[in-house]
Structure 1
């Protein structure tokens, strides 16, 4: 919200010495976010005056049209004689009033004006355009003023070129500050000054003589006011003061009727829309759209309406998206250019109070943001509709010579205010500061609340503060107006003996370990849509397609909470690859959201006391299951090429190794088996298992290379690999703190063994057999070579393992190491049908 200080002074009698920065400091102290204070016109110096064009001589001897003008500037030049000025613009004629800067003046940007010879003539100044004056971007022609201004009038004052504008970032709960009325109320409170409320107007009573209107969906629109103005001059223009206020507030002047509605919206905070009465047929109706209905909005876009859209209609059908944008069919007709009959002479004003959620969803559904929608989304004062309509009628009558139709139509009624009961010392207990009852009552009354009671207060919030619903909301108002700087700074005293839980420590260890292995953490938003599941190739009955839907999603394309970490990580990998980073290894630890079938509406708990165990249990039951997962994705080179070697691309084994890194940090043994599971390649997919403390063997995830169809659908690099595992299930398998490794002072005995097995036998089965047969002396086992060839025979492979033996109390003899090796080989032969290679 841009709030000009000159406009703000109309409602609050600020001392003359108060600057925009002074106001900003007070508003910031009261909890508003003032981004900047823009000082306008500080680089403009006169003489800048109104001039009347007396004569125009067309100079035709040049490549482009040039005009030599005589301009009456009154006595501003000290002589009273006309000024001779060269100008290339052609949108003005003799007799027009224009803005002239005389020699010695300076325009925005340090552009100093002097008398100079150009095009064979002496130009004694410059006739100015909007952009040259710094009040807009229009540079197509000269700014032509209304005829009532006398030559020589100071244009700096006339155009209000010098001002300060506060740019305020309005939080969603402070929608009333999207108006000068709201900002003025905060300013008056901050300075302790009275407020002249622009909404305090005498409004005629509703009657049956107005334009007919009705509401068909009271839940989405609880107030509708319709006013009519007749006999308007079609050629009437917005006065300069109104145009300048709109421009300084960040809006472009369009036409008188539109400018008036925008002005009232900025002033009071109530959006309203003007319709050409000649283009209306039948009553104005607020209802939901019907299937198949369409509407062409004022931006020229033809929109197919959704049955959830709230629309304004007449006898012909939809004429506007309620609270968002009007329709082109009932747009105010442009004024005639040459003064002949035509244009809009009768206007119907529609002023309504719409449900914030309905407007927000319509605006988001049609990707159509507007100033009106911004205000309705944040909450508009339902009691301001009649006053806003009266203010607009008064301005149209004053500026366009019309007459207000005596008919006043009102439909619906806003809900009565609800009182909030709080102890008088509640803000004291919240803030830890003793304010006292008088201060609490005074501050609540300053924000517009009605307060009754002594020790226990009944507070009725004003209609423009729908955000005040709880005792703590009221406490916040007292605290912010008394000043956050007055709150004592006290450090919390945490109870001793509490720290990170074992699972939190595991998550941190896993993150550090993956980072140490070369992965970069890439957190993602937990939202997903059907397109992601389709691209991953998930079957229709896949459990990962059972999702939790968001009531108010950020994007209609991602309306669900994720059930897997892969879509976000793969999207991050694709973006980075597209921007030139081709060797990638990313990881994420985060929650997924799995429906339990028991989700339902959760009760809203009070904040005045700790909820009971039953209330907490009810809240937990209403939530989906939220296990924590860990996932990695890889593409490109895993080991870089250089003088040390040729490098190596990432493959499925690296994804499996990432899972082993996670398991090692948990202190659990991970077993790996072949599997087929989307979105992985069926021949390069591993199922990851751990054994729980009770002996149950559970599946915790999958790793490997992605299916080529998935790679193509997502636009990923070839041979992209991924791993995803359930970190909570891995933590279940961890037996407390992982044991510290034992360090032996005795040497290790290494024995290598190569076994030939059938190609279908998993290496993990061979390793398990060797481990079981080697006994307690085995310290570690590592697969270091896999070989296939004609000499082994078809369907056979050779697996070479390095076995390390060590005793904790002695040096092993060659006979002991050899016996352990032979026992391991015998177990492998018996369990897997292996044969010792070379035997």
Structure 2
């Protein structure tokens, strides 16, 4: 909301020496977000005067139309002679009053005006447009043509109100009343301790039966509707300069007198208005919900299909406006300044349900100045005053006549009251304000306060955000000043550190980063399209998602059940920017509904929730395990002078899983598998042993080519995802430091021939069991297949390291342990010692 300081002073007698920055500081201290103060006209110096075009000579022989004009500027040029000016604009004629910058003037952008020879003539000044004076968009983009009543030689800087300060305020959703000069003036008056001249305090005639007929079929959607009629409007009347300039300073473009008046009143009082050409209305105005499939062409020229939840304004033909958002083209006010302009106008001032307006605006992707105000809450008591203000301006500026009829449809409603202890703000802020201060501050906000220790506070109609005692406490605290609140440090109980889950999360991130992965953070949202691209089956648990009631994007309306789509998007984005060797990881929550969630409970705001209430809230939440995931593409090791590099493969993805498992103190079990989104021949299922059984914790491998194509990833991209919570439960909770022995190691190699279907892990388990406690480690260092082994056979070569904790092993002890290991492998897996 842009608030010109000159306009603000109309309602509050601010000290004469107060600048815009002074007012900004006061409003910020009161809790408003004043982002900046714009200095209008600070870079303009005169002479800038009103002139009258005396003659116009068309210059020939140039590529574009050029005119040589003489302009009467009175005594402003010191001679009284007409000023000779060359101008290329064509939207003015002889006899028009224009704005002239004389030599010596400086316009915005440090544009100095001087005499100069151009197009064979000497130009002594410039005839100015609004853009050249920094006035904003006036809708014409041409020379400013003034009304005839302005005298020649008048100072145009003052006439056009070019010098001003404008407060640019970011209005938060709970302070919709500050989307008006009335609301901002109220805050300024309170901040300075000055009285407010409320522009809504007008004499309004009582409702009667002579006004334009109105029927409201949905009182819950529209609880107040006021209609007033003005006739005899001069169709050629234009908005005066002061009205146009206030609109421009507030960031709005002047359109026509009637539309400008409705916009002006909206900015002044915060009540959106709509004006109908009465000659285009067919019968009574109605308010109802739309019929499914009804259509309406709005003022922006778009034909819209209406929803059954939309509130619409109607006449006997059907919808003529989308209530609270935008009017229809069929009843649009014809432009003033033309003989066929509208001469009879019906003014609508209504109060609509904020939720209905907000949903309709999003449904139709149509945000307007009116909808911004309605969805934040508009003062329902201001409709009559806003309609009266618009009528008064139409009578004053357009020569109209206000009809005696006043239509007002009101749904019965009582004042809103909030009970609150007088010391509640004290207990919230930790400051002793006292009852008198609390009552005074609430009255400054506009509340009526009764009672002593137990207060009954009647909330003003323009503050729909005040609903609880804490809201009232916040008003007292902000007006007394946040700077007055004591700064105290919290005192956490001693002995509390990170949980096991938090420590594992941190260790996992450090381990993956140390292994060469780069961490990324993605939004926790997902769409059905991503699950389709992953190739998940219809009954896959990852397809069961939690839908958001108010998603940021229609493409991703649910909470993620897997980290992989977000990582794929990050990989694709970096690959498209020339980074082709990538290893990314993410740790974060996924959201898995169980179907047993309860309805959420609403927690109180005036006390700490009980354990039962917190438990009820948790019962409404889906299961939220923490996962870790990686994605790799390109080279795992690059080519260089040291030798040839190698590409990242599924083996790196599995090793990343082992890295994570080691941080949890868990030995990972890897088995061949077939599961989306991985390649069926290069997919591993990840398990851990816990509670006497194997529990699946994730999967790793090379992505299926269809998945790679669907997500636009590099060929042979690999990935891994693992459940950190299951690892934590299965782990020891601590990582054991390696033991360093003073005794030498004995290394024995063994090559075993087994069927191709035998898993290397099974052979490894047999060797470990047979070798006994002397075996320190074993490593598979070679896999060989060939015709000499026979069809369906493979050779697995292992390096076995033996060591005793208390002595140096003899060759016989090491050989015996090796033979025992081989014997176990033969018995369990049918292995044959190669070369035997």
Judge same fold: TM > 0.5, yes or no: yes
1:775-824 deviation per Cα after TM superposition (whole angstroms, max 9, x unaligned): 22222222222222232233322222222222211122222222222222
2:129 is matched with which residue? 129
Equivalent residue number for residue 86 of structure 1: 86
Residues 1:537 and 1:149: Cα distance change in structure 2 (over 3 Å): same
Q: C-alpha separation between the residues in 2 aligned to 1:124 and 1:71?
A: 10
CA distance in 2, matches of 1:176, 1:601: 34
Match of 2:699 among 699, 702, 706: 702
SS in 1 for 2:187: helix
Q: Which residue of 1 aligns with 2:647?
A: 649
Change (3 A) 1:642 1:378: farther
Range that drifts further, 574-583 or 658-667: 574-583
The equivalent residue for 1:49 is: 49
| Alignment partner of 2:438 out of 437, 440, 457 | 440
* Segments ≥4 residues shifted beyond 6 Å: none
Structure 2 distance, partners of 1:241, 1:204, is 28
Instruction: Indicate the larger mover: 467-476 or 158-167.
Output: 467-476
Cα deviation digits, residues 673-706 of structure 1 (max 9, x gap) = 11121112222111111122x2232111111111
How far has the Cα of 1:414 moved from its partner?
6.7
Q: 1:626: which partner in 2? A: 624
- Is the 1:383–1:414 contact (alpha carbons within 8 Å) kept by the matching residues of 2? no
Other-structure match for 2:744 = 747
In the other structure, the counterpart of 2:179 is 178
Identify the residue that residue 717 of structure 2 maps to in structure 1: 720
In structure 2, distance between residues paired with 1:483 and 1:809: 74
Whole-angstrom distance in 2 between the partners of 1:311 and 1:519: 56
Pair 1:454–1:705, CA change in 2 (3 A)? same
Note closer, same or farther for the CA distance 1:817–1:614 as it changes in structure 2 (3 Å cut). Answer: same
Contact 1:227 1:407 in 2 (8 A): yes
Instruction: Name the CA distance, whole Å, in 1 between partners of 2:321 and 2:754.
Output: 76
Q: Counterpart of 2:75?
A: 75
- Report deviation, 1:426: 1.2
Show the counterpart of 1:250: 251
Matched residue, 2:287: 286
SS in 1 for 2:184: helix
**The residue matched to 1:775 in structure 2 has which SS?**
helix
CA change 1:535–1:303 in 2 (3 A) is farther
Q: Name the CA shift for 1:207/1:446 in 2 (closer, same or farther; >3 Å).
A: same
Deviation at 1:496, TM superposition (A): 0.7
181-190 or 456-465: which moved more?
456-465
Cα pair distance change 1:385/1:539, threshold 3 Å: farther
Distance 1:480 1:621 in 2: 36
Q: Residues 266 and 701 of structure 1: is their aligned pair in 2 closer, same or farther, counting only changes over 3 Å?
A: same
Compute the TM-score of the two structures, normalised by the length of structure 2: 0.97
Q: Which residue of 2 aligns with 1:682?
A: 680
1:35 Cα deviation after fit: 1.0
Could you tell me whether the CA contact under 8 Å between 2:115 and 2:125 is conserved in 1?
yes
> How many residue pairs were aligned?
835
Match of 1:604 among 581, 602, 605: 602
Identify which range, 175-184 or 12-21, moves more after superposition.
Answer: 175-184
Indicate if the aligned counterparts of 1:546 and 1:594 stay in contact, CA closer than 8 A: yes
CA separation in 2, counterparts of 1:599 and 1:346?
Answer: 59
Say whether residues 1:96 and 2:93 are aligned partners: no
Instruction: Kindly state the Cα deviation for residue 390 of structure 1 after the two structures are TM-superposed.
Output: 1.7
1:266 equivalent in alignment to 2:253: no
Q: Could you list the per-position Cα deviations for residues 447-497 of structure 1 after superposition, in whole angstroms to 9, with x for gaps in the alignment?
A: 111111111111122111111111111111111111111111111121111
User: 1:801 & 1:278 partners in 2: Cα distance?
Assistant: 96
- Confirm or deny: 8 A CA contact 1:215 1:412 kept in the other structure: no
Report matched runs for 1:820-831 at 5 Å: 820-831=817-828
Q: Deviations over 1:691-748 (max 9, x none)?
A: 22x2232111111111111111111111222111111111110123233332222222
Give SS of 1:618's match: helix
Alpha-carbon distance in structure 2 between the residues aligned to 1:49 and 1:414: 56
Measure the CA separation in 2 of the matches of 1:829 and 1:217.
84
Shift of 1:394: 1.7
**RMSD over equivalenced CA pairs, Å:** 1.8
In the TM superposition, residue 312 of structure 1 has moved relative to its aligned partner by 2.6
2:162 equivalent in structure 1: 161
* Aligned mates of 2:37, 2:778 — CA distance in 1: 70
- Report the CA distance between 1:391 and its aligned residue: 1.5
State how far apart, in whole Å, the 2-side matches of 1:222 and 1:598 are: 40
SS in 2 for 1:625: coil
Contact 2:49 2:155 in 1 (8 A): yes
Bigger Cα displacement from structure 2, 816-825 vs 443-452: 816-825
- Alpha-carbon distance change, 383 to 825 in structure 1, aligned in 2, over 3 angstroms: farther
Deviation at 1:646, TM superposition (A): 2.2
Question: Is 2:614 the counterpart of 1:616?
Answer: yes
Aligned-partner Cα distance in 1 for 2:829–2:75: 111
Q: Equivalent residue of 1:631, what SS?
A: strand
Relative to structure 1, the CA distance from residue 195 to residue 772 in structure 2 (aligned partners, 3 Å threshold; closer, same or farther) is same
CA distance in 1, matches of 2:835, 2:221: 84
CA distance in 1, matches of 2:781, 2:319: 74
Task: Indicate how the Cα distance of structure 1 residues 777 and 90 shifts in structure 2: closer, same or farther if over 3 A, else same.
Answer: same
**Mapped partners of 2:282, 2:790: distance in 1:** 90
* CA distance 1:821–1:320, shift in 2 (3 Å): farther
Q: Is residue 370 of structure 1 aligned with residue 394 of structure 2? A: no
Offset, 1:112: 1.4
Once the two structures are superposed, what CA deviation does each residue of 1:403-458 show, in whole Å capped at 9, x if it has no partner? 22333333343743321111111111111111111111111111111111111111
Q: What's the counterpart of residue 15 of structure 2? A: 15
Q: Retained in 2: the 8 A contact 1:4–1:245?
A: yes
Name the structure 1 match of 2:5: 5
1:2–1:701 CA distance, 2 compared to 1 (3 A): same
- Structure 1 window deviating more from structure 2 (418-427 vs 303-312): it is 303-312
1:837 Cα offset (Å): 2.4
1:549 and 1:245, CA in 2 relative to 1: closer, same or farther beyond 3 A? same
Mark the runs of 5 or more structure 2 residues left unpaired by the alignment: none
Following superposition, the deviation at residue 600 of structure 1 comes to: 4.1
Contact 2:299 2:328 in 1 (8 A): yes
Equivalence map 1:632-671=2 (5 Å): 632-671=630-669
- Greater mean alpha carbon deviation, residues 759-768 or residues 34-43: 759-768
> Equivalent residue of 1:580, what SS?
coil
Q: Which residue number corresponds to residue 423 of structure 1?
A: 421
CA offset at residue 137 of structure 1? 5.2
Q: Secondary structure at the match of 2:347?
A: strand
SS in 1 for 2:133: coil
- Give the Cα–Cα distance (whole angstroms) in 1 for the partners of residues 219 and 830 of structure 2: 79
Could you tell me whether the CA contact under 8 Å between 1:628 and 1:726 is conserved in 2? yes
Task: Tell me if structure 2 keeps the 8 A contact 1:750–1:802.
Answer: yes
Question: 2:137–2:248: 8 Å Cα contact kept in structure 1?
Answer: no
What is residue 331 of structure 1 aligned with on the other side?
332
* Alignment partners' CA distance in 2, 1:723 and 1:367: 39
CA contact (8 A) 2:137 2:253 kept: no
Instruction: Identify the residue that residue 200 of structure 1 maps to in structure 2.
Output: 201
Which whole-Å CA distance do the structure 2 matches of 1:31 and 1:796 have between them?
78
Structure 2 Cα separation of the partners of residues 310 and 524 of structure 1? 38
Instruction: Quote the Cα distance in structure 2 between the aligned partners of 1:406 and 1:576.
Output: 69
Match of residue 805 from structure 2: 808
Specify the SS of the correspondent of 2:375.
helix
1:797 and 2:798 are equivalent in the alignment: no
Q: 1:231 — aligned with what?
A: 232
Q: 1:565-576 maps to which residues of 2 (within 5 A)?
A: 565-576=563-574
- Which piece of structure 1 moves more, 281-290 or 732-741? 281-290
Deviation at 1:768, TM superposition (A): 2.0
CA contact (8 A) 1:382 1:414 kept: no
Structure 1 gap ranges (5+): none
C-alpha distance after superposition, 1:525-573 (max 9, x if no partner): 1222211111112222222221212122222222211221222221222
1:497 aligns with 2:498: no
Q: 1:762 to 1:299 in 2, by over 3 A?
A: farther
